[in-house]
A and B are shown apart, each in its own frame.
Chain A
Amino acid sequence: MEMKDLVLLLLIPITLGAILFYAGNSGITGAAVAGEDANKAGEYYILPSFKVQTDYNLGEYKDLKIQLENIIGICKDENMEKCLDQEAEKLKWKCDEKEEKILYRFADSLRDCIRINGKAVCQFSFQDIKGINDNKNERIFDIKLMNSYGKTMLEMSEKENIIAADFIDAKSLLFTDYDTKDTSKNNADSVNIKIKYADEKPEMQRFFALKNGKETRLSSKFAYKAGEEIKFIDESFESSFKAPEPANNIIKVPTTRGMKFCAKSGKEVFIQENGNLERKNVVYKFSVTFPKPIPPPVENFESMDAVNAEKSAVFSWDSSEAKSYNIYYSSKSFIDIPMDEIKKDNEVKKISLEKKSAAEIDDITLSECRFNPYGVKCKYSSYGQSLEPGKLYYWKSNDKYIYYLDGIEDGRQYYAAVTAMDEEGNELDNDKTKQNNKLVFMDGKNYFQFSSKDDLAPMKIIDLEANPATQKLLWTKPLKNADGSDSIDISYFNIYYKKSANALGPNIEPGYAAKRITPVEANCANQAMTCEFSVSNIPNLDKSIYSFAVTALDENVNEISEADVKQMIIS
């Protein structure tokens, strides 16, 4: 055998080997397995992996973001909204959207309504949306709200062609009457709106909730926000929700200001819409919002013990741009707790105060409060009246607000803070994890420690009698404090005496000596109403005319300054 024949012979197994090697490494992912089933001979397995190639570049997002950041930087020294609008024009980022605005604005309205803190009636509108029917006489749109995966989907269509869709964070579709608006849970399967635009004016044709095929007509102007939910309003109760404050806190929505941009990409994609496959330019849609600044912390907050009162304190702080104020107080410190946690903490009490319900005071001296007459609350100097607890006062001459807090414990350490709140219920977040966050509690600025001191004296003794025959002083134990509140802690009496025929009291005439006795010594420790004291217990009295006065003291030895005087000849 020649060499070339040998090579030829060797080529046969080499070729066969190469074929087998190729077959084993060809990327074939399928595998067949024989089976014993009567209907099938086996199964064929294959991994349905795929690879899609495109000329699209995700880096466009980064480029757009840098551009947006740049124009925000450019506009910082100018009217931001106007400047951004001009820059968007230059960059061809202006959006050419018309009818979609109907849905987006409605969705924004509901979103802003959900964001409102506390309870409110949200007033929305389909007015002022231009360019809807400039080419046609009239157009009719259907908007449907449905629950979808824990959210609410809004879908707008015209002649069954879907125009726009959006989502809001509402877990359930609810509607309510007026009386049970805070508690009712009338669920709807869907909320349906039919709206006609003719001559650029909307005409609400239908607005109803559908539940098990039953329709309930809803208000096309109002929604109600309570807790974490918004509820549409049964149309038959709409008039009740229209009533102004204090019945309803009506807020026009949307409240968020912003600007939307639509930046076209050079990339085209095939999109199937309403049954047609169309080639469309990719358009990036993004927005910038201009949130209203949250009211800053209140200035010059002060807390003091209420003068001539027990279990109460007075707060005052500078007036500021706010719709209302919230006072938070607790016996535990909450200076570093974020506001959303404070609100859930039952140990921190909250008092909400509307600015417009504040009573106006021209001037007041908070450190001076006199009883005139006894039996009613003391009256503050310069104001001439007492401060009622639970009420907000506006101190006009100082441009401050005052609040009188009662119901706290005397001698206990408390912490208090005041926050300003805007119309949507926004207040400082006290989030100290945010860098440079100024919307926080600061000790001595908008956050204070305070305690109430019992400086309320028992009532004046008005029936003192001096009996020369028995050489005793007689009086009735006071059951009230000087402000007319019940007194339960009378602990002492001061017996004032002076050799004098003058009827002037010890607060006017100097020279009175005093002897302090307990109710036991005055024989009126328990239920006994009449107290008595024998003047013979006072040592070294001359046989002469003496003036006597008696005052009651509580456990903190609070004592009123006035006392009636009686004379008696000491025998």
Chain B
Amino acid sequence: MKSKKGLMFELLIFVAIIILLVYAFTVLYQKHGQFPPGYRIGDRQFSLMSAIQEAEVALFYVDQSADYMFDKSINELAKKGGIFVENNCGIFNGANVWYTVERADSGYRETDCFDDAKVQDNLKEIFDENLDAYLGDNPYNLPKNNYEYKVENSQITGFAKADLVIDIKRKN
């Protein structure tokens, strides 16, 4: 046999649910006739869900593109010897010059042409160029020149400057 206190709790819950349902019915009743023909309750929410889904696909596209382009940029930068813009020492046999070594009064004198402290910045530059080119014909209208980068040892983070905007379409 239920206790008196248990009955009180159930009653309290029952009353609360009744109040909620009555309130919901009232709200819906008031909205009746205000929607265009063919509109069904929840259409807008479904449209929003679709837009969110589309955005998620676009974000996945960006993630994957960044992944490919990071690999490509690492490879290209390595081929360029870590140098993005040709320096005064130039290029020899397709490779950027790290040192020039010339005969001097006593033996040889070398000139350092490669600042390895700039590699991170150079990677950002080459990555930005590659990503922008890759996203150039994307199907999601992703904004161009839209990133600021932070490179840490083993990761690159692209901070978007502008939002990706996706239309929430009307069903009717």
In the complex, A272→B62 CA distance in Å? Answer: 17
Contact call B55/A285, Cβ cutoff below 8 A: no
Query: In this assembly, does B108 line the interface, its C-beta being within 8 Å of a C-beta of chain A?
Result: yes
Residues of the B chain whose Cβ atoms lie less than 8 Å from the Cβ of A47: 159-160, 162-164
Residues of the B chain whose Cβ atoms lie less than 8 Å from the Cβ of A270: 68, 71
Contact call A287/B95, Cβ cutoff below 8 A: yes
Contact call A30/B52, Cβ cutoff below 8 A: yes
* Partner among A35, A50, A56, A104 whose Cβ is within 8 Å of the Cβ of B157: A50
Contact call A289/B100, Cβ cutoff below 8 A: yes
* Partner among A43, A48, A267 whose Cβ is within 8 Å of the Cβ of B59: A48
In the complex, A519→B105 CA distance in Å? Answer: 63
In the complex, A1→B9 CA distance in Å? Answer: 9
Given the interface pairs A49-B159, A51-B157, A77-B107, the reply to whether A42 lies near B100 with Cβ below 8 Å is no
Residues of the B chain whose Cβ atoms lie less than 8 Å from the Cβ of A104: 93-94
In the complex, A46→B53 CA distance in Å? Answer: 12
Residues of the A chain whose Cβ atoms lie less than 8 Å from the Cβ of B48: 32, 41-42, 44
In the complex, A80→B94 CA distance in Å? Answer: 21
Interface size grouping (class) on chain B:
35 or more
Contact call A48/B154, Cβ cutoff below 8 A: no
Q: Which residue of A lies closest to B142 (CB)?
A: A48
Give min CB distance, B127 to chain A, whole Å. Answer: 9
Q: Quick one: CB contact mask for A1-38 with B, threshold 8 Å, 1 for yes? A: 11001000000000000000000000000101001001
Contact call A286/B158, Cβ cutoff below 8 A: no
Contact call A61/B47, Cβ cutoff below 8 A: no
Q: Which of B78, B86, B89 has the most CB of A within 10 A?
A: B78
In the complex, A412→B114 CA distance in Å? Answer: 48
Residues of the A chain whose Cβ atoms lie less than 8 Å from the Cβ of B68: 270, 272
Query: In this assembly, does A40 line the interface, its C-beta being within 8 Å of a C-beta of chain B?
Result: yes
- Number of A residues near B (Cβ < 8 Å) is 73
Give min CB distance, A189 to chain B, whole Å. Answer: 22
Query: In this assembly, does B41 line the interface, its C-beta being within 8 Å of a C-beta of chain A?
Result: no
Give min CB distance, A248 to chain B, whole Å. Answer: 25
In the complex, A41→B169 CA distance in Å? Answer: 6
Give min CB distance, B164 to chain A, whole Å. Answer: 5
The segment from B17-25, B26-34, B116-124 found at the interface with A is: B116-124
Residues of the B chain whose Cβ atoms lie less than 8 Å from the Cβ of A1: 5, 8
Contact call B95/A58, Cβ cutoff below 8 A: no
Give min CB distance, B65 to chain A, whole Å. Answer: 8
Residues of the B chain whose Cβ atoms lie less than 8 Å from the Cβ of A49: 147, 157-160
The segment from A255-263, A447-455, A469-477, A505-513 found at the interface with B is: A255-263
Given the interface pairs A32-B168, A40-B167, A56-B74, the reply to whether A287 lies near B154 with Cβ below 8 Å is no
Contact call B78/A285, Cβ cutoff below 8 A: yes
Give min CB distance, A171 to chain B, whole Å. Answer: 14
Contact call B79/A283, Cβ cutoff below 8 A: yes
Residues of the A chain whose Cβ atoms lie less than 8 Å from the Cβ of B94: 100, 103-104, 107, 164, 166, 260, 285
Contact call B75/A58, Cβ cutoff below 8 A: no
Residues of the B chain whose Cβ atoms lie less than 8 Å from the Cβ of A284: 78-79, 81-82
Q: Which of A101, A164, A290 has the most CB of B within 10 A?
A: A290
In the complex, A11→B163 CA distance in Å? Answer: 39
Q: Quick one: CB contact mask for B103-138 with A, threshold 8 Å, 1 for yes? A: 110011010001010011001000000000000000
Given the interface pairs A1-B5, A48-B146, A289-B89, the reply to whether A282 lies near B75 with Cβ below 8 Å is yes
Q: Which of A43, A52, A55, A256 has the most CB of B within 10 A?
A: A52
Residues of the A chain whose Cβ atoms lie less than 8 Å from the Cβ of B143: 48
In the complex, A167→B96 CA distance in Å? Answer: 11
Residues of the A chain whose Cβ atoms lie less than 8 Å from the Cβ of B90: 111, 256, 289
**A-B pairs with beta carbons under 8 Å apart, 29 shown:** A30-B52, A32-B48, A32-B168, A39-B169, A43-B166, A46-B55, A47-B160, A48-B58, A51-B155, A51-B158, A54-B70, A54-B74, A56-B154, A69-B110, A80-B101, A104-B94, A108-B93, A166-B91, A260-B93, A270-B68, A271-B71, A272-B68, A283-B78, A286-B81, A289-B89, A289-B99, A289-B100, A289-B101, A293-B104
3 smallest beta-carbon distances between A and B, as pairs? A286-B81, A269-B71, A258-B92
Spell out B's residues near A (CB within 8 Å). 5, 8-9, 44, 47-48, 51-52, 55, 58-59, 62-63, 66-68, 70-72, 74-75, 78-82, 86, 89-104, 107-108, 110, 114, 116, 119-120, 123, 142-143, 146-147, 151, 153-160, 162-170
